[in-house]
Structure 1
């Protein structure tokens, strides 16, 4: 079955084990460089404008704008050879970042360039997630997704450390140039992949193809439940990064180093979760893994708020956020594997793009609504309310997925 699926998608079965390693290397290099440059740009914008709003606009350009074009990004991933599309996206990002490094433009032009880079990244992500079933046998999908998550998370953790080490030596322009080079290296690595054509090349117009992808997401019950459950939990709990900063500063009376440590706790949990799942995910039912991950990630925030004033609160908060990272790893592996097994290959790029675009929009709404709630009720209460809402949504998602075995 796995070989038939790979043959239908146009890739060479004999080269697929090496193909996953190539994708792992390319994504790791690309993510590390991208995180590195985003840190440099945030510091540059903060120093040049002195406005927190400008930094927030930079983050929205990178995170929210791609959500607006997600249906079209997914349609492209189902329309062309995914290897060539990924290479093109990496080279496009290299050109955009090189332009930013060369000119360091004014804020509005910078936001436009960051948004353009993020859109290319969105297309790359959709194509890369849709490509995984062509690179590993069906029984190895969960482990393959876990390894991709592990490499990506380690790269994202390394980005700020690299920025701290390189900025004093290279400056903003030099760091951005290093990011541009990382995209070129990633593109070069991706040339080692086998061809990865969708099983049925989408012959519809881009607009109609986008509508088809949205229609599938709305009509297919299990996919719809996964998307709604994921977005609902993120909408409830996405405010946690903002709340943790306020919690550390106002409630724990801690300094910047403790606040940074608490924010990084989820990364430690993610790394441990992906490492664990890379060896054992194949034994789990993906519907159960996904729903359990939603519940654990939300419960981590609930317990963070509830235990914020106990003795040794900083250590407790760190542990709860690390546990939350374990849950997020389970969400990622469970969701991606579920969709790769369930959705036809010809629609897979659109489903991934639409889902993660909607998740990004939910996170943006959570930042806004959660910020208002923090001002009104404080960080601990916000985390409790958000966590309780997230746990409720996770339980409802688990009930809706009960009995739907697609493993």
Structure 2
């Protein structure tokens, strides 16, 4: 945790509050996800039901991304974040008290996910407001380290709580994390929108403007399409890793679990390094390097000869994914006016969610038709081609926009 004693975490009390709020709420998120997956598996008894639960949490926010991003550009972002945390706490209490049948549960999970996706662009935009530009890469790295660490720790905490509290208790603990997050966010200064004062167009008009800016601005379009392409090609990696370990290498459950953990280990190490050194890097080339490492890592994983080799390659991939995240979240505020930043973040991460869904579907069909090694090679090759396209076009687009 040495990365946290310097830079924005030490200098900015407001950023420390945002950091703590996001860490706590991400930890709670992973708690409730584990609890709900186990509950649905026990009560519905079908893998399809668990898949629907995951889909409800991913698809609804992605489809509503233009609107969720517009909310954080229209109202005070501090109030938006607090309102989202309170809404998620209330929905989790409702789920915990009633443990409703599957259709109603899916609807409540989708609503909670939408509230979380309203929170996401508001919090990303808040970093650009609260942290001075030269510290933003370190701030985004520290947030990535904390949130991914919370997600990794959540299942372990859930395992400890289940024997004592059960499903309802774990869900109520998650609700409490959102309430605590809301209290921490009260310590932030006001973060009013920077758009024009006076009457404004409707929310739908704001959403259309956000989509238009993302598409019409060459640099933003290249970043968005490149990120989505890399995710669409490589998002199937977790499923493919299970088949690679079991079918190709004949590994047992422990080796398979270790292989699945490799990217997470690399992510945490990558965020820790970037929190210390990212301020010295070009965000454009950090983004390209992240795309390249993530994609080439999968391509080489398809050629790996043993679990240990695949583990090493997937650990290195984690560094690349961390670089992609930090570079994108730091680069976008330099390309977009603050008044549009929430919409651009919301649309980008909504599109990435849809790209991940495409990857699950197409990658699953490819896995069934071929094998895990072939899938990894094709996925990595596709992501590498997308990386080359970004490396060629993005610097040129950025040069054109300079006066």
Output the CA distance in 2 between the equivalents of 1:18 and 1:133. 15
Taking the aligned partners of 1:246 and 1:169, their CA distance within structure 2 comes to 35
Whole-angstrom CA distance in 1 between matches of 2:36 and 2:260 = 20
Equivalent residue, structure 2, for 1:225? 222
Whole-angstrom CA distance in 1 between matches of 2:312 and 2:155:
22
The correspondence for 1:357, drawn from 350, 355, 358, is 350
Mapped to 1, the partners of 2:45 and 2:147 lie a distance apart of: 31
Aligned to 1:200, what secondary structure does the other structure show?
coil
**Distance in 2, Cα, partners of 1:237 & 1:172:** 33
- Alpha-carbon separation, structure 2, partners of 1:330 and 1:201: 35
Alignment-derived partner of residue 372 in structure 1: 365
Cross-structure match for 1:75:
70
Q: Residue 175 of structure 1: CA displacement? A: 0.4
Q: How many residues align?
A: 389
Please list, as runs of the form range in 1=range in 2, the aligned pairs for 1:330-349 lying within 5 A after superposition.
330-349=323-342
For the residue of structure 2 that corresponds to 1:64, the secondary structure is helix
Q: 1:110 aligns with which of 105, 108, 111?
A: 105
Question: In structure 1, what is the Cα distance between the partners aligned to 2:301 and 2:115?
Answer: 36
SS at match of 1:371: helix
Q: CA deviation at 1:162?
A: 0.8
The correspondence of residues 52-91 of structure 1 with structure 2, limited to 5 A, is 52-91=47-86
Name 2:322's counterpart in structure 1.
Answer: 329
Alignment partners' CA distance in 1, 2:163 and 2:377: 40
Paired with 1:387 and 1:165, the residues of 2 have a C-alpha distance of: 38
Structure 1 residue 26, shift from structure 2 partner:
0.2
Encode CA deviations 1:87-117: one digit per residue, 9 max, x unaligned.
0000000011111111111111111111000
Task: Indicate the larger mover: 86-95 or 389-398.
Answer: 389-398
Separation in structure 1 between the aligned mates of residue 313 and residue 155 of structure 2, nearest angstrom: 23
Q: 2:246 aligns with which of 244, 249, 264?
A: 249
Tell me if structure 2 keeps the 8 A contact 1:16–1:135.
no
Match of 2:385 among 372, 379, 392: 392
Structure 1 residue 398 displacement after superposition: 1.0
Question: Which residue in the other structure is 2:275 paired with?
Answer: 278
Residue pair 1:16, 1:194 contacting (<8 A) in 2 also = no
- Give the TM-score taking structure 2 as reference length: 0.94
How far has the Cα of 1:378 moved from its partner? Answer: 1.0
Does residue 182 in structure 1 map to residue 177 in structure 2?
yes
Q: Partners in 2 of 1:51 and 1:253 — Cα distance?
A: 27
Please report how far the alpha carbon of residue 146 of structure 1 lies from its aligned counterpart in structure 2 after TM superposition.
0.7
Cα deviation for residue 201 of structure 1 reads 5.3
Contact 1:79 1:201 in 2 (8 A): no
SS at match of 1:198: coil
Q: How far did residue 49 of structure 1 move?
A: 1.5
User: How far apart in 2 are the matches of 1:227 and 1:384?
Assistant: 23
Q: Do structure 1's residue 302 and structure 2's residue 299 form an aligned pair?
A: yes
Instruction: Determine the C-alpha separation between the residues in 2 that align with 1:109 and 1:260.
Output: 33
- Identify the match of residue 256 of structure 2 among 244, 253, 259: 259
Q: CA deviation at 1:239?
A: 0.6
- Is residue 2:74 matched to residue 1:43? no
Gaps of 5+ in 2: 1-9
**Is residue 136 from structure 1 mapped to residue 131 from structure 2 by the alignment?**
yes
CA distance in 1, matches of 2:161, 2:259: 24
Structure 1 runs not aligned, ≥5 long: 1-14
**Are the equivalent residues in 2 in contact too, given 1:150–1:274 (CA < 8 A)?**
yes
Cα root mean square deviation, aligned = 1.5
| Conserved? CA contact 1:78–1:201, under 8 Å | no
CA distance in 2, matches of 1:201, 1:180: 36
Task: Give the aligned partner of residue 6 of structure 1.
Answer: none
How big is the shift at 1:198? 2.0
Give the whole-Å Cα distance in 1 for the aligned partners of 2:196 and 2:117.
20
Stretches of 4+ aligned residues off by more than 3 angstroms: none
Deviations 1:61-84 (A, max 9, x none): 111210000000011010000001
